[in-house]
Amino acid sequence: MLTGGYLTNRSKDCRKFVCLIMQIMKVSIEYETYEGLDQLTTTDRNLCIKSEEALKSSYSPYSGFKVGSAIRLKDGLVVLGSNQENVAYPSGLCAERVALFTIGANHPGAEIESIAITAHTDQFEILKPVTSCGGCLQVMAEFELRQQKEISVLFYCLNGQILKVHSVKSLLPFGFIEDRLTH
């Protein structure tokens, strides 16, 4: 949600017919927090459990940081994704994009309802939900825009807190959108 007000620069320059007006805006986000899987709806709980299952296919020998995602489509199908690393680091891919691009390639036009993301490492205990990177948020935002329907996102900390937002736009209010590129 954007809110804002105006400030006027009333410096001596205003007397020379130059007056700067700046609008200050504020972005706020609404999200829900849950202390465990038992507080979620059955549908959301099952999706989080599926994201945990996706961790098993993570290929993360370099970071040791496994990420799993599970995406529920409107028809009930759940598509899994896991991070896939490469020794040439930029060549790897995050769990969210693996699942999203799988949907794009194998289920074009399918409507996405929700995505759950979780992470695990043997190197330390993860104490709070791990959120998506900017690249993944941008891809999620475009899927949301294409389908003209919000996608809810669950960030699930194994055996801990879950954060839920009802739209990707909440997480990336200034996502890159260029309508002229689609024509």
- How far is it, in rounded angstroms, from Cα 113 to Cα 166? 10
Structure tokens at 29: 């986000």
Query: Residue 60 contacts by C-beta under 8 Å, 6 or more apart in sequence?
Result: 66, 67, 83, 85
Concerning whether 96 is annotated as a catalytic residue, the answer is yes
State whether residue 154 is helix, strand or coil. strand
Q: How far apart are CA 179 and CA 88, in angstroms?
A: 33
- Which residues lie closer than 8 Å to 175 by C-beta, 6 or more apart? 137, 138, 141, 142, 168, 169
Task: Name the amino acid, one letter, at 36.
Answer: G
Query: Which of these is catalytic: 52, 96, 113, 144?
Result: 96
CB atoms under 10 Å from CB of 31, counted, come to 12
Identify whether the C-beta of residue 157 lies closer than 8 Å to the C-beta of residue 130.
Answer: yes
Q: Please list the active-site residues.
A: 96
